[in-house]
Structures are given as structure tokens and as C-alpha cells.
Structure 1
Amino acid sequence: MSRRAGAGTDRLEFIDPLLPTLAEKPPEGDNWIHEVKFDGYRSQIVIDAGGVRIFTRNGLDWTKKYRDLVEAAKALDVESAIIDGEIIVLNEAGLSNFSELRKAVTRRQHDLYFVAFDLLHLNGHDLRDMALKDRREILARLVEPGSRIQFSEALPGTGKAVFHLIEQAGLEGMVSKRRDSKYRSGRSTNWLKVKALIESEFELLGVERERGKPPFALIGEPGTRKYVGSAFVSVNREMRERLWKRVQEHAGPAPKNMKGRLATQWVKPGIKARVKHLRGEENLRHASLRDFWDED
């Protein structure tokens, strides 16, 4: 768990995070807790005799980027700890806002929060073999209300009922975790994430077909043709072939400010696209093409 870091100081190592498995719907049964899936940067706070460090999901040391959160972590009543969580920024409605997060990291440190949802180490003890519910009980007692470090509260109710509330609130999704599960690095079915998706109408700008890779539809805002992201072409074979034919028949130049790419076939204005995507995002995320048609 720890390694020697010189000058007689034990330094705790970053632990590769446990990653939830994407699921189509929430799990059933009483052996699950359900939390909001916050839209931010998965991060890890490590506190030891050498001070406080904050790591990214991939183990990069971003301590210098999170000055205010480092100070908040110093106020925790612990000798050593490893805390798993998410760094977020909130919008005016009090919801996590991914599009504002990058700007907040560089310009608005005071807008950053760390939402803690698991405790992997405490005061010389490795807690990963403890049941999740016990780790979270200890973590909840460590986090002081009103701090920039907050505790991710479990939401009461069945998975289905909780997910309905999350969709109604316009949140990204939920994470369901087995109450008795141990913490193991890597992808796990003991944690399941379910994302809140909606379908919206956009304009089809073109299709990118690169050999050996899945095809993507390039999507723009209706009317302006401003590029907002790509969508995986998940329609059935018949519809996919119809799409290729429509694209060839309506071939046109690239929209303004879009660089030409060899694998991309652009189309003239006039083709609408229905896209399934994450709710509340400035640009498309986790998007798939569901249908397309000619504009009236």
C-alpha cells in the first residue's frame, strides 16, 4: 500500500480506481445503494505524512491544479487516507456541469467541489476488503458539512424509482453499487452505471467511414450547421444502406470552419437527424444516430 519516499516519510501510492460497468437499466433488489452519477473528473485524494496530493483517474498528479481542494483536504481529521470521488463544478441550478469544469480548474478554483463516495485507506489501514456500506459509513463521519469536500449521499428507493427521479431532475445518470462489495481496481459489475439519455433533432453534416472503425454521423445545430459532435451510426443494416445512398445523392462541401477529412463524405443542407445523447451537454456525448429524413 505504501512505498518509501525518502527522508523517512511514508508516501501512499495512487490506487487504480474501480470502474462501473455500463448497464441498460438499474439493478433490482435490496443489496444495492444508488447514487447520482456526477458529471466531472474522477479523482483520488491521497493524504499522508508528506501532505495532500490529488490524482486524476489515470494516476496523474494534478495537485497544483486544485489548490483550494488541497486546503480543504488538509482540514480533514485524519493522519492518512485515500478517498475516491469526483471533482465537479455546479451550475446555477445546483447541478454538476461538465462544460464549465475545465474553465473552473484554470480560472475559478472557488467553484470546484470534490464529491467523496468511497474510502480506500484510513490511518494506516487498507479498507478495500471491507464491505462498501461500512467504508461509506466511516467516510460520511469524516466529511464535514459545508466543506468543498462533500459526501455522496445514497438516494432512498428502488433503482427504478431513483432513476426516474434522476431523469426528471435532468441529471446525467446514476451509479448502483452492491452494499457488501469489496473494492477491486478495474472494471466491475459490482458497480453499475445507468445514463440518462434523450433524443433530439439535429442536422446531418456528413458521415465518417474509416476502414476498420465504426461509422459516425457528423452532427450540427439545426439552422446554423454548427458542428456539435459525432454520433455512432447504430441503425439497422437496411437503414444504414439507405443512409449511405442518401449521403452520396446529397454530397456537398464541408460546412464553414470544418476541415476536410479523407474519410468524411459531407452532405448539402436539408437532412435532419434524430440523435440519442446525454442530457444537458453543450456538445454531443455518448451519442448515437437513431433516424434521418429530408427536411420539409
Structure 2
Amino acid sequence: MRKPDSGVQLRFIRPMEPELVEQPPKGGEWGHEVKFDGYRTQIIKDADGIRFYTKNGFDWTDKYRPLAEEAKTIAAESFIIEGETIVTNEAGLSDFHALRSAITRRPQDLYLVAFDLLHLDGRDLRDMPLKDRREILQALIPAGGHIQFSEALPGTGDAVYLLACEANLEGIVSKRLDSPYRSGATMNWRKIKCYVEKEMDIIGVKRETGKPAVVLMADKGHYMGGAFVTFKADKRQALWDRVQGRVGAPPPKGLAREKAEWLKPGLVGRVKFLKGEEKLRHASLKDFWEE
């Protein structure tokens, strides 16, 4: 691999984005990694030094100063590395909710989990198969630091996904091992998130002709969004009977424009939804009862 000119300058590359799907892909042509709950990050080293960029191309080098110092120890003249900046909780899991305060108050606790290599020592690697890019990247990352290599998880996609959810991870990312790197959304990379279930208050319903019925949920007074009602006829009717006795509450603050029937307090539901989202996403109502 040729050495670059001493004045090589590299530019931020728009990230390759995995599509969200319901099930992991099957077959041996896929690799599977942990989906870390953090900020997508691109590290560039060139004649101008080390720079850290956000997913949207903003320079956050100053915010990630301890990681930027550690990146100087990577033995290469120039590179573009893709990864995820995270902070871990007491269980050793990435904690998105603690990340923002860690960046401002304790940046020394940040980790960068590197998963792809786009450029190295004057050579653009994006046309190279993912498997080969990752082999080079793994050899490049020193062991034991806060910049770490994202190890592939052994096993089939279904087995890896099940283990990830049982371990309380956010999910997995499955990638075609022969895929080149192409900016933008792609089905060659797929993210499969784990689901969680939680009890929340049912504060409203949407029942429109020709559309699936939706219950509107709140968690400790905070509006969380809607969950689909997929019950069979008898249980669905039992839900509507309980709803009917509670219709007539004023719209919650900020939700007056929602075309919904708002309910008086006292109806609770157990809702299943994607983990790691601020609002309900891909959510369904699993059960309900009156307090």
C-alpha cells in the first residue's frame, strides 16, 4: 500500500446508513455486530491532524478531545475511520441518555467503537468488500484503549439477535460481508432493534374509518405517541367499552390538534415498542386494565 503525499487532505464522507427492518437476514454472507446506542462518528487523520465529525459533518474534535489524543497513536499516515461514540453504564452497556452529559462533564469516559475503514494511507478503500476493510481496521486499532474495534458476533442472525435482546442491548446491525461502502441508505446494511414492554397510561384513542385503530399513551405524564390495537374482535370490543366510559377529557397540553378522543384517567395498557427510541415506534398494545 503506497504512502500518501505529505500534504494529503481528506474530506468528510457522508455515512452509509442501515435500513431498519423487523428480522435479521439469513445466510452466511452476512456479518452481525452490536448496535451501540451512541453518536455516529467519523475520524479523519491527514496533513491537518486529527478531526472528529458527527453524522451530519459537524466538527466535534474539541468535544471528543481525549479520544482525539488517543487517535494520534493509531499507526497510519492518514485514515478515515467510522465508528460510534458511546459511554457505558454500570452494567457495561452503552447508555445514550448519559452520553450528552458525559461529553460535557467527563469526556475522559467516552469510548469510540470503530466498525469501518474508508481510507488508509492515500488509498480509498470504499470499493473494497466490507470483510476486507474490517480486517485491515482490526489490525490498525491498538488493544486496551478507549478506541476499540467492533467485533463481529458469531452465529446466525436469528441467534445473534436473540442473544442481544436477552443481554438488554439495543439491537444488532447486519452487514453484507461483500458490500462496498456507499453513502446514504442501503439494504446492504440492516439494523434490527430489540423490543421492550412497559405499562403506560392510555390517554386517548384514534378510530378512523379505513385506518388501523391506535391508542395514545403517556408515561408519567409525558406523551409517548401511539400504539396499534391488534386484538381480536372480543378483546377489541372490551377495550372500546372501557374507552367509552372515559371519553370527554380535555386535550393534553400541546395535543389539541390531534384528531383523537381524549380519556379521563384510569385506563392503563402494556405496550410493546422498539427499544432506544424517544417516542413509541413500531408499537402495539398487548393488554389493558383499569386501575
Regarding TM over 0.5, the answer is yes
Count of residues paired in the alignment: 280
CA distance 1:51–1:190, shift in 2 (3 Å): same
| Deviation, structure 1 residue 286 | 2.9
Q: In the alignment, what sits opposite 2:57?
A: 59
Post-superposition CA distance 1:218-257 (Å, at most 9, x none)? 4333xxx3316223546589869x76993795232466xx
Report the equivalent of 1:271: 267
* Aligned pairs for 1:46-195 within 5 A: 46-195=44-193
1:20 positional shift: 0.8
Decide whether aligned partners of structure 1 residues 42 and 12 sit closer, same or farther in structure 2, where only a CA change above 3 A counts.
same
Match of 2:3 in 1: none
Query: What is the match of residue 246 of structure 1?
Result: 243
Taking structure 1 as reference, are residues 246 and 157 closer, same or farther at Cα in structure 2, changes over 3 Å only? same
Q: Percent identity?
A: 50
Question: Hey, what does 1:288 align to over in structure 2?
Answer: 283
Change (3 A) 1:200 1:70: same
Aligned residue number for residue 205 of structure 1:
203
Deviation at 1:44, TM superposition (A): 0.6
1:277–1:284 Cα contact (<8 Å) kept: no
Instruction: Please give the secondary structure, in 2, of the residue aligned with 1:269.
Output: coil
| d(CA) in 1 for partners of 2:145, 2:48 | 22
CA distance in 2, matches of 1:60, 1:202: 37
Name whichever of 163-172 and 263-272 sits farther off.
263-272
Task: Name the CA shift for 1:247/1:65 in 2 (closer, same or farther; >3 Å).
Answer: farther
Aligned partners of 2:205 and 2:79: how far apart in 1?
49
Q: Structure 1 residues 59 and 267 mapped into 2: Cα distance closer, same or farther (>3 Å)?
A: same
CA drift of 1:208 comes to 8.1
Residue 227 of structure 1 aligns with an amino acid whose one-letter code is H
**1:275·1:287 contact (CA, 8 Å) conserved in 2?**
no
Give 2:224's aligned residue.
Answer: 229
Displacement after TM superposition at 1:10 (Å): 3.9
Counterpart of 2:62 in 1: which secondary structure? helix
> Distance between the aligned counterparts of 2:21 and 2:255, measured in 1?
36
SS in 2 for 1:193: strand
Report how far residue 162 of structure 1 moved.
Answer: 0.9
- How far, CA to CA, are the matches of 2:157 and 2:287 in structure 1? 33
CA RMSD of aligned residues (A): 3.1
Q: Find the residue that maps to 2:102 and give its secondary structure.
A: helix
Cα offset, 1:120, TM superposition: 0.2
- Residue pair 1:206, 1:264 contacting (<8 A) in 2 also: no
Change (3 A) 1:61 1:115: same
Q: Give the C-alpha shift of residue 262 in structure 1.
A: 3.2
Distance 1:160 1:292 in 2: 27
Contact 2:43 2:50 in 1 (8 A): yes
1:44 pairs with one of 42, 45, 57: 42
Contiguous gaps of at least 5 residues in structure 1: 1-7
SS of residue paired to 1:11: coil
